[in-house]
Amino acid sequence: MNNIKENLALPVGTTLDRFIMRKQEDFPYATGELSQLLRDIALAAKIVNRAINHAGLTDIGGAYGKQNVQGEEQQKLDVVANIRFIRALRNGGEVCTIISEEEDEVIQTGNLKGKYIVAIDPLDGSSNIDVNVSIGTIFSIYRRISELGTEGTIEDCFQKGTEQVAAGYIIYGSSTMLVYTTGNGVNGFTYETSLGEFFLSHPNITTPKNGSIYSVNEGGYNYFPEAIKDYIELCRVRNYAARYIGSLVADFHRNLLKGGIYMYPNTLKSPGGKLRLLYECNALSFIVEQAGGKASDGRQRILEIQPSDLHQRCTFYIGSKEMVEEVESLLVARPVRNTQLV
């Protein structure tokens, strides 16, 4: 009986909605619109989470039978997640324009007075769906620079990552978490399914300055720049742990909490890199910097890259600050040349 009374006396915790309301004062230019936008994203995340949990019981697993704009085979849940997030953002009324990794062109929501632009990867790591590995959603939020009362423009979408007002990701795994920043630190919320709420579980996330985990697809080792091969050899000599899931969100989330580096270098097949600047790299770079880490393309800060294409790709090194800086120094010492099979 005493245990029951003690459990009932425990606080439930801070919900995402309550946390967002408390933080509204951080945005004197916004009168609740950004807060509502974050709630819209959280709502869509709950719906997508339910679909993912039912994937093994319903016919929404496996390939959709089409390719996205990057030429990658879409999974059925890619399409489901894309529809759900676009619908939530459109119906929420705060977003004038959406760009999605799954769409060829910009999406005009019809909300001409919406103040925000959203860039989203609705379902990162979707090739892992059928083998029950963690996957995720990544999003960036920008204030529009075009005139209110008009449709958003391509210039709205081509803002540097430094102009983000918020960014985050949702990881669907053993538990579902929403992690986001508005430029005032990073906070993580875990989804409590029985209550249907996200609760603050990881306040003020900071990432270690150094770590002992490196995450890279070593299947492409022979095609990596020599400097990256050198760094991988250093990691092996130091007995670092090699951890690579193949879902960017999952790899990033682990390294953010434990300390480590995620690398996606250029190769002969992808000389400009493979990950998408607008849908993946900018958001995670904003988050890692707010947590005390670093993100680079090997030459410059990711957030300072000027976008010029909706589906622009880049090389990507992100994680603990000292590890990323060591990679940068190696790349300076051994500049990238045409990578050949050795």
Nearest to 175, CA basis, from 123, 136, 125, 215:
136
Sorted by sequence, the CB contacts under 8 Å of residue 147 that are 6+ apart come out as none
- Phi/psi at 43 (nearest 5 deg)? -65, -45
> Is 217 annotated as a binding-site member?
yes
DSSP 8-state assignment for residue 288: H
The DSSP code sequence of 189-215 is EEEETTTTEEEEEE-S----SS-SEEE
Sorted by sequence, the CB contacts under 8 Å of residue 211 that are 6+ apart come out as 255, 258, 259, 260, 261, 319, 320, 323
Order of strands, sheet of 164-172, starting from the edge strand that comes earlier in the sequence: 107-108, 95-100, 116-124, 135-143, 164-172, 176-181, 186-192, 197-202
> Is 194 annotated as a binding-site member?
no
- Phi/psi at 294 (nearest 5 deg)? -150, 150
Pairing of strands 116-124, 164-172: unpaired
Nearest to 47, CA basis, from 62, 35, 34, 60:
60
> Is 285 annotated as a binding-site member?
no
| Residue 263 to residue 261: CA distance in whole angstroms | 6
Nearest to 34, CA basis, from 21, 45, 47:
21
> Is 280 annotated as a binding-site member?
yes
> Is 124 annotated as a binding-site member?
yes
> Is 251 annotated as a binding-site member?
no
| Residue 98 to residue 135: CA distance in whole angstroms | 21
> Is 46 annotated as a binding-site member?
no
> Is 26 annotated as a binding-site member?
no
> Is 310 annotated as a binding-site member?
no
Q: Is the dihedral of CA 314, 220, 299, 181 positive or negative?
A: positive
Lookup: tokens for 35: 């807060």
Query: CA geometry: angle at 198 spanning 194 and 199, to 5°?
Result: 100
> Is 100 annotated as a binding-site member?
no
* Binding-site annotation: residue ranges: 101, 121, 123-127, 217, 244, 274, 280
* Binding-site annotation: residue ranges for substrate: 124-127, 217, 244, 274
* Binding-site annotation: residue ranges for Mg(2+): 101, 121, 123-124, 280
